Amino acid sequence: SCYFPMLSYRVILLKLLEQSTLTLLSEVLHPPQELNSMPRIGDIAPDFEAITTKGPIKMSEFAKDKWIVMFSHPADFTPVCTTEMSGFAERKEEFDALNTELLGLSIDSIHAHLGWVQNVREATGVYFDFPIIADIDMKVSKLYGMLQPNESETAAVRAVFFIDPSKKIRLIMYYPLNVGRNMNEILRALEALQVSDKHKVALPLDWKKGDKVICPAPKSLNDLNTRLADHSVEKVTWYLAKKNI
Ligand code: BEZ
């Protein structure tokens, strides 16, 4: 009399196991791609089309031969975001001088963006004169790993992507919701990337424009002997030398 109930438990158990194995298998084979998407340094920036405060854009055609600093903020009409966005706006000329386009983003509607831009302009005189993506469907946030569910399931974290003219991602910053970024560091890092590319050098701790740069370390004894005989560079030791550019 116990046999049939036992059998049905076993059948149910097997069915459950089968189901969970299938679910697991399906998640491994088809991960929820958008949420898992975390572009890395050196990747080509994933392309997308979006509605912005300056009209529709396609990322791959945006900013042609320029650098792009693409940054997300959690929400319009919030205090920290207002200080950050105003910081980008107030220093836009410095980004222009570095051949760089700004591109903002938040998971808000275009109407919220327009209302916020106008509200800040009325309240402070600062005008956000660069495109801000209205990522209401979270498409771009998910594509760029800006939506980090353990921080917030609905608001993008404070991300900054530095994208070079070949559309390669060169530097990524992620800040949480409650800590604003440092505009001096964003500009310093952008300039450092450009100087490093132009002069094929590396840059030391806290490097800023005008400071000496790092000479590439010797790769052979010949290089080493040349380095030791070169009195034009500041040698801390044989593998750490600095020079002016
Ligand atoms: C802010 O910008 O003030 C903010 C936005 C989202 C969460 C916390 C702070």
Confidence category of residue 44, pLDDT binned at 50, 70, 90: very high
Residue 150 has pLDDT above 70, yes or no: yes
Task: State which amino acid sits at residue 61.
Answer: E
Return the minimum-mean-pLDDT range out of 30-34, 71-75, 231-235.
30-34
Tokens 């979270």, located at residue = 138
Ligand 1 pocket test: which of 76, 81, 147 has the largest number of ligand atoms within 8 Å of its C-beta?
A: 81
- DSSP, collapsed to helix, strand or coil, labels residue 201 as coil
- Within a 10 A sphere around the Cβ of 40, how many other Cβ atoms? 8
- DSSP, collapsed to helix, strand or coil, labels residue 234 as strand
Residue 190 has pLDDT above 70, yes or no: yes
Residue 151 in contact with ligand 1 by CB distance below 6 A: no
Confidence category of residue 2, pLDDT binned at 50, 70, 90: very low
Distance 83 CA to ligand 1 centre (A): 10
Residue 88 has pLDDT above 70, yes or no: yes
Confidence category of residue 32, pLDDT binned at 50, 70, 90: low
Residue 81 in contact with ligand 1 by CB distance below 6 A: yes
Confidence category of residue 155, pLDDT binned at 50, 70, 90: very high
Active site residue 215: no
Helix runs in 73-210, H state only: 79-90, 92-97, 110-124, 139-143, 183-199
Residue 76 has pLDDT above 80, yes or no: yes
pTM across the whole model: 0.85
Distance 82 CA to ligand 1 centre (A): 9
CA-proximal residue: ligand 1, atom 7 (nearest): 177
Return the minimum-mean-pLDDT range out of 6-15, 52-61, 155-164, 203-212.
6-15
- Within a 10 A sphere around the Cβ of 119, how many other Cβ atoms? 13
Give the pLDDT score at 37: 80
Distance 177 CA to ligand 1 centre (A): 6
Q: Which of 63, 81, 89, 189 is catalytic?
A: 81
Q: What is the mean pLDDT of the chain?
A: 91
Give the pLDDT score at 18: 64
